[in-house]
């Protein structure tokens, strides 16, 4: 039987999961593939750590560059992460004509255009299923299963840490810091939690998905990103009273010659399936012109779910090799390289959506008319107004929901309102995604 040799770079949490599947399930995988996929070498800076795996003598090395240059290695798996040595190793492997599997979303979001070009020029594939939503086969679904569709939109919960935190605040009344600490202890938060809570990890994933869905170059810098660190239990409570849940959503919509791509806390109605996605899981709704709405749901992080996605890529590359199609049978970024375009992302100020506003206002006559007067001057129409709760520090929360409004005018109006003498504190704005309320 054919033997395909694999080199693993980085044996941290996910790397260990990958090694475990490759070693413990070698017979199962070979029954399915018709070849043996054998883990030959594992490179890591820590050779002493007990990973619960029995590596044979000579399998472990500190020299990752030796692995990517080893003529016996057929497939390289990069599990180091970050944008430094991981990038150099991937490029070196590509230079040595080795296909590479990576889960490194930050690297792909920031340097993907160059890396995919280098892979194509060297006649190898760069596979990345595990870079977005862990175990969920989102890349394969968009690139292969939905190949007959024009993708119209993708709306999803792509960060388990944020969803865990928001679920904890919503369902248990936890405070933000405690919920974040729990997420970190459970091992799905990034090493630097600001990447999670400020929305950047979600943006990395949306940049990759948008490229695949619309045939555009990866464009991280133009994605609007707002995280969850300013979401308060009070706003989550108000949202509930209006029939909404607050989620950190990745929203991407095709507008033909432009794309909307934004990450921000969003209120969605209870009836929206994403509203019931609780805890550390991810979910993505994809709308295509043939399929209509479809949804993927599952663990977006963690050792074994992410390793499962890595193995699916390894097997794809092995099958290519066995069938003699060394690369390019399926275009890495879903479109033929010559068909990938620069499609602009609409600036956030040009977005039209619905809004929730909360003002800390003095409880006295004429206040509402002053606030709504400013909103009216900017053409922002109010759908409902609620003044609820007790007076705190001399002010009461005044909550308004808007009809469809242009972000640019909303920002100008809120800036003017915050300087009114009847308003204390910066107004709160949360965007609403409510198909039933599209007016």
Residue 374 interacts with ligand HSE (CB under 6 A): yes or no:
no
Q: How many CB atoms lie within 10 A of CB 250?
A: 29
Binding-residue pattern over the window 78 to 107 for ligand HSE, x denoting contact by CB under 6 A: ------------------------------
Q: Which residues of 168-207 are buried (b: 16+ CB within 10 A; e: fewer)?
A: bbbeeebebeebbebbeeeebbbeebebbbbbbbbbbbbb
Residue 196 interacts with ligand HSE (CB under 6 A): yes or no:
yes
Which of 44, 74, 201, 433 is the binder for ligand HSE (CB under 6 A)?
A: 201
Active-site residue among 40, 205, 247, 253?
205
| Closest distance to ligand HSE from the beta carbon of 91 (Å) | 23
Which of 102, 104, 161, 167 is the binder for ligand HSE (CB under 6 A)?
A: 161
Cα 74 to the center of its chain, rounded Å: 30
Q: How far is CA 373 from CA 70, 83, 367, 404, in A?
A: 71, 49, 10, 17
Residue closer to ligand HSE by CB (options 7, 193) is 193
| Closest distance to ligand HSE from the beta carbon of 189 (Å) | 5
Q: Whole-angstrom Cα distance, residue 183 to residue 271?
A: 27
Residue closer to ligand HSE by CB (options 99, 300) is 300
Selected range binding ligand HSE among 46-54, 64-72, 159-167, 388-396, rule: CB under 6 A? 159-167
Selected range binding ligand HSE among 31-39, 158-166, 374-382, 395-403, rule: CB under 6 A? 158-166
End-to-end Cα separation, the chain, in angstroms: 63
Residue closer to ligand HSE by CB (options 125, 201) is 201
Cβ atoms of residues 281 and 300 within 8 Å: yes
Q: Whole-angstrom Cα distance, residue 85 to residue 77?
A: 14
Cα 22 to the center of its chain, rounded Å: 26
Residue 397 interacts with ligand HSE (CB under 6 A): yes or no:
no
Q: Whole-angstrom Cα distance, residue 317 to residue 135?
A: 18
Residue 10 interacts with ligand HSE (CB under 6 A): yes or no:
no
* 3-state DSSP of 296-346: EEEECCCHHHHHHHHHHHHHHHHHHHHHCCCCCCCCCCCCCHHHCECCCEC
Pairing, β 395-402 against β 382-387? antiparallel
Residue 190 interacts with ligand HSE (CB under 6 A): yes or no:
yes
Binding-residue pattern over the window 296 to 325 for ligand HSE, x denoting contact by CB under 6 A: ----xx------------------------
Radius of gyration, CA atoms only, the chain: 24
Residue 160 interacts with ligand HSE (CB under 6 A): yes or no:
yes
Residue closer to ligand HSE by CB (options 195, 236) is 195
Pairing, β 423-432 against β 352-362? antiparallel
205 is catalytic: yes
Residue 129 interacts with ligand HSE (CB under 6 A): yes or no:
no
| Closest distance to ligand HSE from the beta carbon of 58 (Å) | 32
Selected range binding ligand HSE among 1-9, 189-197, 310-318, 400-408, rule: CB under 6 A? 189-197
Residue closer to ligand HSE by CB (options 29, 158) is 158
Residue closer to ligand HSE by CB (options 186, 383) is 186
Which of 116, 176, 188, 355 is the binder for ligand HSE (CB under 6 A)?
A: 188
| Closest distance to ligand HSE from the beta carbon of 380 (Å) | 34
Sheet holding 100-102, edge to edge: 60-61, 36-43, 3-9, 75-78, 100-102, 126-127
Residue 118, SS3 per DSSP: helix
Catalytic annotation, residues: 205
The site for ligand HSE (CB under 6 A) is made up of 159-161, 188-190, 196, 201, 300-301
């Amino acid at each position: 039987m054919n033997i395909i040799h694999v080199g693993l770079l980085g044996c941290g949490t996910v790397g260990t999961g990958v090694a475990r599947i490759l070693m413990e399930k070698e017979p199962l995988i070979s029954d399915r593939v018709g070849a043996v996929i054998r883990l030959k070498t594992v490179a890591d800076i820590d050779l002493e750590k007990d990973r619960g795996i029995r590596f044979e003598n000579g399998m472990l090395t500190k020299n990752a560059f030796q692995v990517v240059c080893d003529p016996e290695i057929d497939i390289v798996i990069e599990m180091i992460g970050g944008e430094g040595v991981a990038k150099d190793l991937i490029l070196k492997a590509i230079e040595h004509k080795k296909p590479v599997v990576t889960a490194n979303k930050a690297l792909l979001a920031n340097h993907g255009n160059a890396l995919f070009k280098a892979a194509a020029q060297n006649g190898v594939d760069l596979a990345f299923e595990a870079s977005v939503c862990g175990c969920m086969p989102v890349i394969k679904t968009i690139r292969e299963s939905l190949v007959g569709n024009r993708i119209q939109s993708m709306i999803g919960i792509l960060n388990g840490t944020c969803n865990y935190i928001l679920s904890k605040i919503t369902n248990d009344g936890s405070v933000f810091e405690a919920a974040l600490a729990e997420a970190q202890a459970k091992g799905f938060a990034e090493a630097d939690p600001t990447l999670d809570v400020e929305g950047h990890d979600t943006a990395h994933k949306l940049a990759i998905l948008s490229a695949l869905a619309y045939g555009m170059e990866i464009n991280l810098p133009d994605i609007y990103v707002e995280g969850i660190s300013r979401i308060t239990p009070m706003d989550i409570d108000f949202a509930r009273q209006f029939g909404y849940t607050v989620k950190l959503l990745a929203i991407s919509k095709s507008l033909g010659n432009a794309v909307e791509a934004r990450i921000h806390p969003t209120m969605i109605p209870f009836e929206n399936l994403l509203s019931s996605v609780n805890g550390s899981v991810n979910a993505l709704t994809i709308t295509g012109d043939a399929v209509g709405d479809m949804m993927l749901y599952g663990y977006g992080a963690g050792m074994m779910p992410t390793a499962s996605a890595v193995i699916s890529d390894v097997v794809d590359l092995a099958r290519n090799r066995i069938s003699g199609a060394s690369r390019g049978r399926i275009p890495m970024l879903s479109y033929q390289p010559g068909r990938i375009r620069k499609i602009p992302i609409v600036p956030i100020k040009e977005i039209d959506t619905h809004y929730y506003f909360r003002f800390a206002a003095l409880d006295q006559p004429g206040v509402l008319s002053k606030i709504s007067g400013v909103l009216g001057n900017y053409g922002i129409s109010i759908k409902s107004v609620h003044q609820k709760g007790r007076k705190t520090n001399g002010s009461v929360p005044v909550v308004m929901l808007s009809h469809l409004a242009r972000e640019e005018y909303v920002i100008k109006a809120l800036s003017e309102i915050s300087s009114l003498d009847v308003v204390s504190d910066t107004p709160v704005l949360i965007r609403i995604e409510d198909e039933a309320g599209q007016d």
